[in-house]
Structure 1
């Protein structure tokens, strides 16, 4: 029976390890997030692993590759263990991570009307009421919130608005 395990990979070699493990018919998963970073003075969206150097793998060690084969794959350091054997993870954990990773895609047609009241459901302004002003590209919008009796423009991801 296939079980989920946690691997520790060599720094920066998760992609290599994933490729070699998938060649051995091992199911691999490592969640990635999109992070906004400043590179050479400009803001860029970069995709990074959510858990650097860690990867979830699913295989049946009795039928498929053995623990030793997986452990000696290029890019892999070792299994996360509790005692002598690798720790078996609950599948619910991985499936909940996978379901949380899928982003909500809101198209421009589904955005609120200019002047419509919206709520902010994530981020530093979570719970604040705002007024929709205009879209800012495909994934963000400009909202007006009241701070100290003054209307202030903020930029918010479209997925963080509740309307």
Structure 2
């Protein structure tokens, strides 16, 4: 899916040419088509996805979802390549721009995502947090309190059992406010 290779050190090399990664805003549901059209034009692309298990009607379904919904990455050299064609590509709303120039991603951002992805562009996020795992709260009124993750929901919230005041109390906290202990 992508042509960058990880070197012996495990780090992604920066290209010696002027090619950088840029972000393209895409129409919802058109990500794969936009990616195919860009590749047909000779652009290197990366559309990271994740596998999510969701509950629906008392069933659990495993689905592919965009890791960054509505966006994909395109690699090119703005001084050497006809990048303006990207904005006219089917499925693309526009490149993220500043004034009249596309804004490159910070060095290492896409390279780290590529290093985390398998050959199909799937980034495994399942090992980050799991029910039953010990977690520590990193912000809010329970900062630095350790608890047990009971469950995660699709709204980005976690239910945690905290051992406070001589007993366990269940609290709901944003997933971004906790980390593995």
Specify the alignment match of 2:24 in structure 1.
7
Distance, in Å, in 2 between the alignment partners of 1:7 and 1:31 is 13
Q: 1:94 aligns with which of 97, 105, 110?
A: 110
Does residue 123 in structure 1 map to residue 140 in structure 2?
Answer: no
Distance, in Å, in 2 between the alignment partners of 1:84 and 1:70 is 14
Specify every segment of 5 or more residues in structure 2 that has no aligned partner in the other structure, as ranges: 1-17, 136-166, 168-181
Q: Is the 8 A contact 1:121 1:127 kept in 2?
A: no
- How many residue pairs match? The answer is 114
Distance, in Å, in 1 between the alignment partners of 2:83 and 2:41 is 12
Larger of the two Rg values belongs to structure: 1
* CA-based RMSD: 2.6
SS of residue paired to 2:35: helix
TM-score scaled to structure 1, two decimals?
0.60
Distance, in Å, in 2 between the alignment partners of 1:121 and 1:58 is 28
TM-score scaled to structure 2, two decimals?
0.55
More helix by share: 1
Distance, in Å, in 1 between the alignment partners of 2:62 and 2:33 is 22
Specify every segment of 5 or more residues in structure 1 that has no aligned partner in the other structure, as ranges: 105-119, 129-147, 149-163
